[in-house]
Amino acid sequence: MAIAPETLEKLRGEMEPPTADLSWLDLSLPDTRATPGRRGLTLDDINVAPYGDPLETTSNFGMAPRGVGQRPEAPRKGVAYQEKADVWSKNATLLYEEAVQRQWSSATDIPWEELPPLPDDIEQAMCQYCTFLTEVEFIAGDVPGQWLPKISPEYYESKLFLASQIMDEARHLDVFRKRAFANGGGLRQQTDENGLRALINAKDFTEMSALMHVLAEGFVQSLFRMGEYIGQSEVDQRIFRMCAQDESRHIAFGIMHLKYVLETQPWRREELHSYFDLFEADLARPIEAMDMDPTNEALLILLGDKIDEGIQRSMAVGKRRVNEYMHRLEVAGMPERRERMNPTFQMMLAGGAG
């Protein structure tokens, strides 16, 4: 493409040096020196001076993190949430720092060389279980990723935590896929994903967090704990133990976010109940239909030497799972949920041991 003659003339002529503005060089600003603590220089340590506490409401629709001097001509990036309560969790900084410090590698932190051969039926059942968990963890990474662009940089702590969660979920789907192949069994059958679809379809951040972090991830953590119990080797037990450790952070974020919403936006209580009503019904439907999908059948094999024994232990796991879910809601400030939980959940609490 040809260069315009007037542009060539300017390039050949003597260039005038640009005029320095230096308005950014403001020596009157307060001292914002951050001091490392016993855990190093953390997010809490740098929340000093005018940058410490996020505003309750922000007009920052751009890409400038909290505390940055904003330019009037900066473009907007489509931020959806202006209210702190809509995305905030008081423990986000601590959970992010823990996530960074406790990252692990599925390639080197699992002793794959120690994985023993298993009877064919046990190995295939474990592979079916891992196939299901690989599907679950794909969704668990996709869902928070949808919300990152909608959160203002004013509340960057929540954005950082969600980014760490996505990394956790990526590692989980990675490790379960590897486990399915490590002993020669391979991936098995896809299972019902209607409940997972509800997470992707959430229209509000708090709806997503309540359903995903408080309900769904709590149920998955129960599966991880059960996986450690049914694991046939130290390899399997370590996989489930380390995944459960990560999952605890995601649940903690959701509980504290829900608690903050109920404290600052109490008028949303019935709205939140409606989300749980619908999602509990989705999760209960296969149980009501007595749907024995491949994963349920695989779990019965893994839980007991006989099918009857596996069913009894599965019922006990279901009872504990619902009890833990209700306890999380009590901690978040919704104790009345126990009185209006789905009838199938009530039935699960009535049956089973433990």
Q: Classify residue 333: in a domain, yes or no.
A: yes
Domain that holds residue 300: 91-101+116-350
pTM: 0.90
Q: C-alpha distances in angstroms, 136 versus 97, 126, 173, 227?
A: 25, 15, 8, 15
pLDDT number for residue 232: 83
Judge whether 236 and 180 are in contact, CB under 8 Å.
no
pLDDT in tens, 183-210: 999 988 887 666 678 899 999 999 999 9
| Predicted pLDDT at 243 | 96
User: Within a domain: residue 2?
Assistant: no
The CATH number covering residue 171 comes to 1.10.620.20
Asked whether residue 301 is assigned to any structural domain, the reply reads yes
Domain count, the chain: 1
Contacts of 209 (CB under 8 A, 6+ apart): 253, 254, 257, 258
Q: Is residue 346 part of a domain?
A: yes
* Cβ contact 198:235 at 8 Å: no
Does 226 fall in a domain? Answer: yes
Q: What is the pLDDT along the chain (354 residues), one digit of tens a residue?
A: 677 777 777 777 776 777 877 777 877 777 788 889 888 999 999 888 777 788 899 888 888 888 887 778 888 877 788 899 999 999 999 999 999 999 999 999 999 999 999 999 999 999 999 999 999 999 999 999 999 999 999 999 999 999 999 999 999 999 999 999 999 999 888 876 666 788 999 999 999 999 999 999 998 998 898 888 888 899 999 999 999 999 999 999 999 999 999 999 999 999 999 999 999 998 887 776 556 678 888 888 888 665 566 667 777 778 888 999 999 999 999 999 999 999 999 988 876 544
Query: For position 77, what pLDDT does the model report?
Result: 78
pLDDT at 354: 46
Residue 46 lies in a domain: no
Could you tell me if residue 340 is inside a domain? Answer: yes
Q: Is 52 within the bounds of a domain? A: no
**Tens of pLDDT, residues 7-56:** 777 777 776 777 877 777 877 777 788 889 888 999 999 888 777 788 89
